[in-house]
Amino acid sequence: MATRKIFYNRRSRRRAVAAAGLGMTAVMLFVAGLYTGLTLAPLFAPAKLATTNEPAAILAAAEF
């Protein structure tokens, strides 16, 4: 009687590697976005860009 090969172990290893790869990709994208956001945040802060001679920008209600 021939022995039957079981392929479950190989398939589960592939799934684990694929899941680990997707997880690492998600973590790397999150870290890159966090770093970029923290690095570029001062560029979008109007209080830091305005000098002392300029008045603060105030929008009227009609401009919305």
Mapped onto helix, strand or coil, the DSSP state of residue 20 is helix
Domain assignment present for residue 3? The answer is no
pLDDT at residue 40, rounded to an integer:
85
Q: How many domains does the chain have?
A: 1
For 6, what's the count of Cα atoms within 13 Å in the CB-facing half-sphere?
Answer: 3
Cβ proximity of 48 and 42 under 8 Å? yes
Asked if residue 55 is part of any domain, the answer here is yes
8 Å CB contact between 46 and 57: yes
Whether 36 maps to a domain, the answer reads yes
29-45 per-position pLDDT tens digit: 999 999 998 888 877 77
**Cα–Cα–Cα angle for 48, 51, 56, nearest 5°?**
80
Residues of the chain with pLDDT under 70: 1-11, 46-57, 60-64
pTM over 0.85: no
Domain range for 14: 8-63
Among 35, 61, 36, 57, smallest CA distance to 46 is for: 57
